[in-house]
Structure 1
Amino acid sequence: MEGLKLNKIRKGIPLAALAALLAFSGCSGSGSEKASSSSDVAGTKKTPVKLTIWGGVPEESGPKDVVTNWNKANPELQVEYIRYVNDDSGNTKLDTALISKTDAPDIFISYGETYYNRRMNAGMTAPLDDLIAKNGFKVDEIIGSSNIIKSNNTTFYLPAMKQLSMVMINQTALTSAGEKLPDQWTWDDYVKLAGRLTKGEAKGSFIQAPGEILPKITLTLAKPKDSYYNDKGSSNFDSPSLQKGLELQKQLYDKGNMVSWAETVSNKLATHSELFTGKANMILGGTHLIRYVKDTKNFPRDFKVAFASNPQLESGGKVNIAGFNDLMSINSKSAHKEDAMKFIAWYLSEGNTAMIAGGRIPTNKKADMDKVVELFVGDAAALMDVESLKKILKTEYVFPAQVESTAYAELTKILTEESEKYFMNVQPIDKTMQTIKTRADQAIQAAKK
């Protein structure tokens, strides 16, 4: 998922390298230190301050309208949006820009805590608390202070999107199988339904590999806060919930109810494409995929999409494995931090309404959810079960929180590598669990030295 709490596998340039580059760039200034609003000649009109914002969402999915709306109302402070692709190479491009002497953004958006933590630890993110106070932005009233994770009691980002994980189903296939839309269900129920929805060439399920693996999901469902770690300072990778996820995902492969791990990875299969091209009748998706539901030009189809809640580890759970994302930070080297905070405050209060149609729910607690649904759906009501979508959006959830980040990227890599061996029948479950735990604990200890 794009920037979801379903954290995808991340590979980044080492923090040591980033720190070295930051130190080098600090000697010669930052590209974000643009000239402030000033008069070239006495009595002439002032040149507007220009801010640059880097984000991963295509311009046509909302950012273009956001920038247009702001620039029309604020001629003295103009913003430019630059899109980067939210993958490993795209994030490295952003990191490089942040330490550039000529191209550094003033504001940038990180998707998920892994990339954000990397930038925060490298000193790329400006502390926001004083800027927030000076602006008068009411964090608790608009976002909720508990929905922001501080570092050393300092705020370095503000989340702009509340993302919800959900299951998206071909409604025609569901009806043909004699099944009702599931509610309050578990991952065991999901696996059973996948078998009933497998028909002909269409698989009953698709879960993107290697990013959205079930062992990581079930681990999060069992322990939403810092799911990778136990209270003894080592990994939580010996949890029965992790083994449960491994076994459930392998069951989907072994019974032919989901395309193989090898094919998914080698062909880089995309979640939305599998559903909308009829190759899978059920996918693990999220609100960020709404824009594809409405895209009949690239994905013509004759079925509605229905929406089911995020399956739980046990019946009665309320954990949604997505959460707060689009983490907005100000470049620590920007010469226009107060102006940047002015834009961010507007964006979080009202500006990101223009992002709703593209599938991004504002973090603003005062947002009218009926209006959000209306903007989500637009003129595409014939393409989706609107009532099931509305129910998903209006439900109250428990969201994961990643406070601890020791060796996080390495732990994700280990979990993926050892899961792959199990899914491809290279090693049995007992060996997989033992190896995951041993490697993870070693990685944590190495990172603490």
Structure 2
Amino acid sequence: MKPIRKGLPLAALAACLAFTGCASNTGNGSEKAAGTPNTETKKGLVKLTMWGGVPEESGPKDVVAAWNKANPDLQVEYIRYVNDDSGNTKLDTALISKTDAPDIFISYGETYYNRRMNAGMAAPLDELIAKSGFKVDEIIGNGNIIKSNHTTYYLPAMKQLSMVLINQTTLTAAGDKLPEQWTWDEYITLAGKLTKGEAKGSFIQAPGEILPKIALTLAKPKDSYYNDKGLSNFDSPALKKGLELQKQLYDKGNMVTWAETVSNKLATHSELFTGKANMILGGTHLLRYVKDTKNFPREFKVAFAPNPQLEAGGKVNIAGFNDLMSINSKSTHKEEAMKFIAWYLSEGNTAMIAGGRIPTNKKADTDKVAELLVGDAAALMDVDSLKKILKTDYVFPAQVESAAYTELTKILTEESEKYFMNVQPIDKTMQSLKARADQAIQAAKK
């Protein structure tokens, strides 16, 4: 996996962190104060700290309790950081600290991970993996891990699946069956049928999961933003089709406008569960909202369809592997940290499933995973359709190249917005996308 910036030394990152956050993802929730540095509190007792972005009550508390009970000489403390700009800056600051540095840390997405790996914060794992006896290929699959210069710096703990969530009552009333294999053209057609009164037939979160970006990924899962000449892939016919598909949803009145979505910061799950949309593009991470009848009381069941493809027969899932676990290069207990990670990836993260986090363990029992995901909420969803999605073999995207990646996403959003809001035509949009993206990549490589 290539770094976001070339040659960003640890000292430079430290200077950056002193003044500003260096990247942006989204997250929410409260944060637990940072703990004490890793120490041997008494002879024979080793204490590790692990920083992650998931609230303790959503699984980490149970994970740590199970480990600590079985390993009295190797105790782990979990510290929550909020997975947003300031929270990630706090983690980066802790990683270069001499007093509060965690032994284990979890990055969410390649952008944050690349930044930390490039700054020397992540320890090489290959020798530690070998010493621990952890079988990467048997548990996760070597093909699901991206190495940097043939070296492993992280292991993914979560497999997220993208899918479409549909109001089953409205679907039945429209006389349609639940799609099992379908295209985005078919999605557009169904959205028209599911638009009833004030309820739109579709909702796609903007500016995050826009169809131009999705279409690029479906057509080219690996390094979707880049072509084989080292420039942008923003002249792709797939990108153009994605733009036109999303524009159709707006123009036909089958989806709330771009301006309203962005200005009101509309949330995907809220649109479905408050009856404002009958079909949404989401993922397994939304299952916690499916089960939340306190905040979202409703009378309909939720059915699940796979994410649509550009062409019939495609098997790309636009989500993929996340919760990237690394060991701090400064930790004095790397072997102990690897021992915990091996256990976590083999069995320990079972406690995370109920919160919507599917283990990357290939040996995990799919029916058991589904049971834990559903919990006592089987009456609220079509469980069989969920199981079909869980049992399908997918091709997942991989981001290896990262030159100007954040800037390219910004450019894609800005130019798409102009087209969606009728400020510029499709041809001008495509020209601007390609020119701006190529320029950004060239500038980043200087």
| TM-score (norm: length of structure 1) | 0.91
| Pairwise CA distance, 1:94 | 2.1
CA deviation string 1:299-354 (max 9, x = no partner): 11111000001100001101111111111111112222111111100000000111
Match of 2:149 among 137, 152, 158: 152
Are 1:67 and 2:59 an aligned pair? no
CA pair 88-33 structure 1, distance change in 2 beyond 3 A: closer
2:30 maps to which residue? none
| Pairwise CA distance, 1:111 | 1.4
Aligned residue pair count: 426
| Distance in 1 (alpha carbons) for counterparts of 2:317 and 2:306 | 9
1:263-302 pair list within 5 angstroms: 263-302=260-299
- 252-261 or 297-306, which moves further after superposition? 252-261
Are 1:141 and 2:138 an aligned pair? yes
| Pairwise CA distance, 1:439 | 0.8
| Pairwise CA distance, 1:37 | 5.3
CA deviation string 1:167-198 (max 9, x = no partner): 00010111121211112110111111111111
1:28 maps to which residue? none
Letter in 2 for 1:220: T
Q: Percent identity?
A: 86
Letter in 2 for 1:293: V
| Distance in 1 (alpha carbons) for counterparts of 2:165 and 2:346 | 30
CA pair 214-15 structure 1, distance change in 2 beyond 3 A: farther
| Distance in 2 (alpha carbons) for counterparts of 1:324 and 1:420 | 28
Are 1:244 and 2:244 an aligned pair? no
2:418 maps to which residue? 421
1:409 maps to which residue? 406
Contact 1:306 1:384 in 2 (8 A): yes
CA RMSD of aligned residues (A): 2.0
Point out where structure 1 has 5 or more consecutive residues left out of the alignment: 1-11, 26-30, 40-45
Contact 2:39 2:48 in 1 (8 A): no
| Pairwise CA distance, 1:101 | 3.4
Q: Helix, strand or coil: the match of 1:301?
A: coil
Are 1:435 and 2:432 an aligned pair? yes
Contact 2:9 2:119 in 1 (8 A): no
Contact 1:165 1:284 in 2 (8 A): yes
1:190-205 pair list within 5 angstroms: 190-205=187-202
CA deviation string 1:122-144 (max 9, x = no partner): 21111111111111111111111
| TM-score (norm: length of structure 2) | 0.91
Match of 1:35 among 17, 36, 39: 39
Contact 2:38 2:102 in 1 (8 A): no
| Distance in 2 (alpha carbons) for counterparts of 1:95 and 1:313 | 39
Contact 2:9 2:120 in 1 (8 A): no
1:259 maps to which residue? 256
1:211 maps to which residue? 208
| Distance in 1 (alpha carbons) for counterparts of 2:16 and 2:376 | 52
Are 1:185 and 2:182 an aligned pair? yes
Letter in 1 for 2:183: T
| Pairwise CA distance, 1:96 | 2.4
1:102 maps to which residue? 99
- 257-266 or 308-317, which moves further after superposition? 257-266
Contact 2:38 2:101 in 1 (8 A): no
Are 1:54 and 2:51 an aligned pair? yes
Are 1:20 and 2:7 an aligned pair? no
| Pairwise CA distance, 1:34 | 2.8
Q: Helix, strand or coil: the match of 2:122?
A: coil
Contact 2:164 2:304 in 1 (8 A): yes
Contact 1:33 1:335 in 2 (8 A): no
1:352 maps to which residue? 349
| Distance in 2 (alpha carbons) for counterparts of 1:121 and 1:32 | 26
| Distance in 1 (alpha carbons) for counterparts of 2:305 and 2:236 | 27
